[in-house]
């Protein structure tokens, strides 16, 4: 796929995701994922953690609400998205650059945990819950 590099990161949420609503009704959730490498040190006979890499992430709209409702600090997650670089200048004239992940998919990692998945329903334009189909769910 041309364009920005898409990456998948496995890591741990460093804090509860935070959500912000705009006047238009659109919302965004921001969170940070800490990822580190772990290797077995034969000399020490134990696992050793490398230093962590912290990646700031954001996800928009209904998915943002799902993240805030479903995940919290300490949860291990798998996150996929486009890696973006953002630059700005501070009020003191210092230039800053940060790498961020524009999230397209996120889920709980089941490597060290279990999860119960509950399908979300979309709301109709009237604000009423969407009608549920008759019969069992498609999966």
Query: What CATH number does the domain containing 30 carry?
Result: 2.40.50.140
Q: Does any domain span residue 118?
A: no
Task: Give the chain's mean pLDDT.
Answer: 86
Q: Does any domain span residue 85?
A: yes
pLDDT in tens, 40-77: 888 888 888 888 899 999 999 999 999 999 999 999 99
Q: Does any domain span residue 74?
A: yes
Q: Does any domain span residue 77?
A: yes
CA 31 from chain centre, in angstroms, equals 6
pTM: 0.75
**Helix %, strand %, coil % of the chain (to 5):** 5, 50, 45
The continuous run of DSSP H or E covering 62 comes out as helix 61-70
Domain tally for the chain? 1
Given a contact cutoff of 8 angstroms between Cβ atoms, the answer to whether 48 and 39 are in contact is yes
Which residue range is the domain that position 31 belongs to?
6-108
- In the 8-state DSSP scheme, what is residue 129? B
Q: Does any domain span residue 64?
A: yes
Q: Does any domain span residue 90?
A: yes
Q: Does any domain span residue 1?
A: no
Q: Does any domain span residue 115?
A: no
Per-residue pLDDT of the chain (139 residues; tens, 9 = 90+): 467 789 999 999 999 999 999 999 999 999 999 998 888 888 888 888 888 899 999 999 999 999 999 999 999 999 999 999 999 999 999 999 988 999 999 999 998 888 888 888 776 444 444 444 444 444 3
């Amino acid at each position: 796929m041309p364009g920005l590099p898409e990456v998948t990161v496995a890591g741990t949420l460093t804090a509860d995701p935070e959500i912000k609503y705009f006047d238009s009704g659109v919302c965004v959730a921001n969170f940070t994922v800490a990822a580190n490498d772990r290797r077995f040190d034969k000399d020490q006979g134990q696992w050793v953690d490398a230093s962590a890499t912290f990646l700031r992430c954001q996800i928009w709209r209904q998915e943002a609400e799902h993240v805030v409702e479903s995940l919290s600090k300490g949860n291990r997650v798998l996150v996929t998205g486009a890696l973006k670089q953002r630059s700005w200048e501070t009020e003191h004239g210092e230039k800053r650059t940060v790498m961020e992940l524009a999230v397209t998919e996120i889920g709980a990692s089941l490597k060290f945990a279990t999860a119960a998945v509950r399908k979300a329903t979309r709301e109709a334009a009237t604000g009423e819950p969407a009608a549920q189909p008759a019969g069992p769910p498609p999966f």
